[in-house]
Structure 1
């Protein structure tokens, strides 16, 4: 262990020896100097905890020595105690303190006084040294944390960019597969072909669910999920889930029961998309692991006041059940109860983790009760603001879309062009097509479309820049009616939607899209321009 050093300065060697003996209990190293000049030289080479300095010395006296010390950065704050036989008046003590000494002790020295004062300044030096060491450590750690934070942010950005690109590249062909499959469903086909088409549609939707699970988990992990507050009809949402999943229960010959209490308000305000996602995940899971009996979705009203309603959701099945040990890891990412479950039933192991995270984000908490070979019940509570009466907004899909609605599809992918054209044609609507953003801008300048379906990623000019050019053109021509721009894109991140809105788009649909989603938005547009 390195000892602290004390500089002792006196022109008489016997005084230096006396000081060392008086302070021998402190276990420090003493450095002697027999003149002011020698003391200054020692301070150039050594670091001292303090100095004890005689006043009367030949050549440079103690006052002058201290004055030079205070002019140097290294010794500017060094604690110095004067010792001197000059004590006839307070004048010398005052001069010593004014020159920068921390104390003045007259000779002959009283040992207890000197020892007490040295102990104080040694303790202060040690504490300051420990503090500096700690500060240096914290500074080093802080620099390391900044480096690690920068690396983590770079990794997150790279991951988000990779996921965004992968999402776009996967969703674009999925839009072609599912879009055309959905249109074929409405065609007059032989039963054999309908069965084949059903397999294509089911497989495509299962693949899309896996893509959505991975993307949603990544968005949750990156904190990119935003919970919306939008008015919706709970009973319609549940009815849609029932119709989407009932065919699965029919195939397995099990019963699908829905029980919603009558006292639940018609119109709730919250994130219907995320609630639908939670319920779809939980009901899908229940159906997957149930081979006989039933799956029951129950919704009860726990509390209702003038501001909000608290709802209890239960998904109960008579399936294979889950052991206590398996329940402990059930909500972990990429995890199923055991490897045989994955082999037999498939899945990413993300559905329950996503449901748990979304429930937490919406202010609720998910729980589970299960017994092997008897069944499971997943439960959660959520609060929603509400309206007593169904508003007009919930019926927009009933508004008739005028056949003469002028529509431009801005899309560079030929397959996605065909999907959009055929979907609109099935709705009784016609459209023009632009192969890139610049072409879309030029065509709109000439034709003044009422609606533009705008892809985000296009050559020459992307959808964001094309929208900004269109809005700038409209601002320069205020007599023209503003076109309604809908992002129809395979980009599915929160920031993608926000970028579209910030650029001036009115709405956002991610690919692959369903005809009903587009129809609903076009119904709203038709009502606003009627």
Structure 2
């Protein structure tokens, strides 16, 4: 008793996926054959055959719907596909028989050509499914042998030669089909192994991202909190440089992670109000010491028409500027680097920002320019040894610019320098305040926040950021402590880490939502990185938003402002 479930397994699905790209060619061939049949053989028979082949193609198209939509197939759907393919082959075999029975040399040669094409199709596309190979290849081989050995009036000697030739064609086709089947299974195994390795790599990167971002979050958060304190100009400059160096370290970590996210289509742009001119100034100041060491100067020019505030993603724009300016510093041993920042009105009320980075460095020849934006690529092998870097910066910069509805272009002359132009779309700044101020009469009481994180420095940093903005901050070290704090006091919002001992943020959120009095309590996840599945689970559990670590003060304040119940009585 044959195991039909095995014969009707996923190999049928693989055959469908491989044959779908040939649909256009099949339709052209079918239409041509129908037209020739109608013209040279018989009008009625040709029309009938044309309708039959059209119905077969329609049946195959309908039965392959799951494959076109990249969905898993059921046993019934695979049976339907096999039935449609069987009908298709019966229609073509009928044409072969009709040509053969015309009893003219040209028509019989045409019939043999069609049979050979059916055998080629069988070995090329059906080798992954034993059932379809038997139906299409076995049926075509049987019909071919029958025509060559039995159903003809050739002399015995010619019949033997013709049959031998047909057997050689069938043997070679069978061997090719077996080879295709073996290679197909090997490719499938390699694909599974690659996907498994990729998943393991992604999990490792996620883990390392979380572990490395945690101390970086504390360092950068403390720097941002210090900037809120009254500082001497020299002290403020030192704090800003500390913050910028931390961001540079974070950038090295982010390059590999960002490339993986971009290629998977999972990196998102998060625009918030910011000062583009100030951001450019800070990136220039970060790179200025190294430029001076190499005998170069960086000159920043900001267009007077540039607004003091625009809505863009400061993290991604900083990443792009840092890549372009640091590259210019690397390849300008002694000279000048000009950074020009400007903007112009764009469609739909937006603003198109433009940053030009021009240097008088070594420049590039056309061959280097052609591969400049490819990942893991540098001008030559000595560049990495001499200047460092991963070869990802420019590739990521171009992709980020495209995600921000902009572009990056480069022009260069070897020995004379290079010019890179970055453009990206911005929106006019919002006019409303991110957090309502606390008024003197107490109509706007302090925003009561519960910060839940197992890392004490992270809790302290959040408190240092938000306390000067009129927030009252309490702390908890894990999910269970957060539940205890909520039962002991009232809070307007919970800022909670995702991964914690005792009880993590996900389980704590589920328990908070299970309490009738806390169903409307805003919960914001502070995370050093979660997977898409974890993010979906968090939203289903009841979390309202995510703020990525290291925490950007503007992003944090903007997110809190969206869920501030003091300004929305209906949410209280």
TM-score where L is the length of structure 1? 0.65
Distance 2:261 2:423 in 1: 23
1:369 and 2:411 matched:
yes
Mapping for residues 355-394 of structure 1, pairs under 5 Å: 355-359=397-401, 366-372=408-414, 374-379=416-421, 390=428, 392=430
Distance 2:301 2:537 in 1: 41
1:212 is aligned to 254
Distance 1:329 1:376 in 2: 15
1:400 and 2:443 matched:
no
Indicate conservation of the 8 Å contact 1:448/1:483, yes or no. no
What is the DSSP-based 3-state SS (H/G/I as helix, E as strand, rest coil) of the residue aligned with 1:487? Answer: strand
Distance 1:114 1:456 in 2: 82
Indicate conservation of the 8 Å contact 1:405/1:450, yes or no. yes
> Could you say which structure has the larger radius of gyration?
1
Deviations along 1:164-188, one digit per CA (max 9) or x if unpaired, are: 1111111111112222233234445
Mapping for residues 57-72 of structure 1, pairs under 5 Å: none
What is the DSSP-based 3-state SS (H/G/I as helix, E as strand, rest coil) of the residue aligned with 2:475? Answer: strand
2:558 is aligned to 520
Q: Which moved more, 1:246-255 or 1:236-245?
A: 246-255
What is the DSSP-based 3-state SS (H/G/I as helix, E as strand, rest coil) of the residue aligned with 1:417? Answer: helix
Mapping for residues 282-297 of structure 1, pairs under 5 Å: 282-286=324-328, 292-297=335-340
C-alpha RMSD over aligned residues? 4.2
Distance 1:351 1:184 in 2: 30
Distance 1:421 1:443 in 2: 16
Deviations along 1:197-240, one digit per CA (max 9) or x if unpaired, are: 5554343222112112232123335x143455x7766xx45334
Indicate conservation of the 8 Å contact 2:513/2:519, yes or no. no
Indicate conservation of the 8 Å contact 1:450/1:482, yes or no. no
Indicate conservation of the 8 Å contact 1:287/1:295, yes or no. no
Distance 1:312 1:450 in 2: 38
2:393 is aligned to 351
More helix by share: 2
1:255 is aligned to 299
Distance 1:297 1:453 in 2: 39
Structure 2 runs not aligned, ≥5 long? 1-137, 439-443
Distance 2:203 2:325 in 1: 32
What is the DSSP-based 3-state SS (H/G/I as helix, E as strand, rest coil) of the residue aligned with 2:471? Answer: coil
Distance 1:80 1:516 in 2: 75
Distance 2:418 2:451 in 1: 47
**Structure 1 pair 126/456, CA: closer, same or farther in 2 (3 Å)?**
same
What is the DSSP-based 3-state SS (H/G/I as helix, E as strand, rest coil) of the residue aligned with 1:254? Answer: strand
More strand by share: 1
Distance 2:235 2:317 in 1: 35
Q: Cα offset for 1:261?
A: 7.5
**Structure 1 pair 195/183, CA: closer, same or farther in 2 (3 Å)?**
same
Match of 2:358 among 299, 302, 317: 317
What is the DSSP-based 3-state SS (H/G/I as helix, E as strand, rest coil) of the residue aligned with 1:377? Answer: strand
What is the DSSP-based 3-state SS (H/G/I as helix, E as strand, rest coil) of the residue aligned with 1:316? Answer: strand
**Structure 1 pair 469/128, CA: closer, same or farther in 2 (3 Å)?**
farther
1:88 is aligned to none
Q: Cα offset for 1:499?
A: 4.5
Q: Which moved more, 1:274-283 or 1:136-145?
A: 274-283
What is the DSSP-based 3-state SS (H/G/I as helix, E as strand, rest coil) of the residue aligned with 1:431? Answer: strand
Q: Cα offset for 1:412?
A: 0.9
What is the DSSP-based 3-state SS (H/G/I as helix, E as strand, rest coil) of the residue aligned with 2:437? Answer: coil
**Structure 1 pair 496/256, CA: closer, same or farther in 2 (3 Å)?**
farther
Match of 2:512 among 430, 454, 470: 470
Structure 1 runs not aligned, ≥5 long? 1-73, 83-96
Distance 1:353 1:129 in 2: 50
Distance 1:469 1:380 in 2: 47
Q: Cα offset for 1:369?
A: 0.7
| Residue-pair matches, total | 416
**Structure 1 pair 161/128, CA: closer, same or farther in 2 (3 Å)?**
same
What is the DSSP-based 3-state SS (H/G/I as helix, E as strand, rest coil) of the residue aligned with 2:561? Answer: helix
Distance 1:168 1:480 in 2: 29
**Structure 1 pair 494/296, CA: closer, same or farther in 2 (3 Å)?**
farther
**Structure 1 pair 502/321, CA: closer, same or farther in 2 (3 Å)?**
farther
Distance 2:175 2:514 in 1: 59
What is the DSSP-based 3-state SS (H/G/I as helix, E as strand, rest coil) of the residue aligned with 1:331? Answer: coil
What is the DSSP-based 3-state SS (H/G/I as helix, E as strand, rest coil) of the residue aligned with 1:454? Answer: strand
Q: Cα offset for 1:399?
A: 3.7
Q: Which moved more, 1:454-463 or 1:437-446?
A: 437-446
Distance 1:116 1:365 in 2: 69
1:501 is aligned to 539
TM-score where L is the length of structure 2? 0.61
Distance 1:495 1:177 in 2: 29
Mapping for residues 120-199 of structure 1, pairs under 5 Å: 120-187=162-229, 197=239
Q: Which moved more, 1:447-456 or 1:239-248?
A: 239-248
Indicate conservation of the 8 Å contact 2:409/2:421, yes or no. yes
Distance 2:224 2:271 in 1: 28
Distance 1:260 1:135 in 2: 70
Indicate conservation of the 8 Å contact 2:408/2:420, yes or no. yes
Indicate conservation of the 8 Å contact 1:81/1:104, yes or no. no
**Structure 1 pair 127/425, CA: closer, same or farther in 2 (3 Å)?**
same
1:68 is aligned to none
Indicate conservation of the 8 Å contact 1:367/1:380, yes or no. yes
1:529 and 2:568 matched:
yes
Indicate conservation of the 8 Å contact 1:312/1:379, yes or no. no
**Structure 1 pair 255/391, CA: closer, same or farther in 2 (3 Å)?**
closer
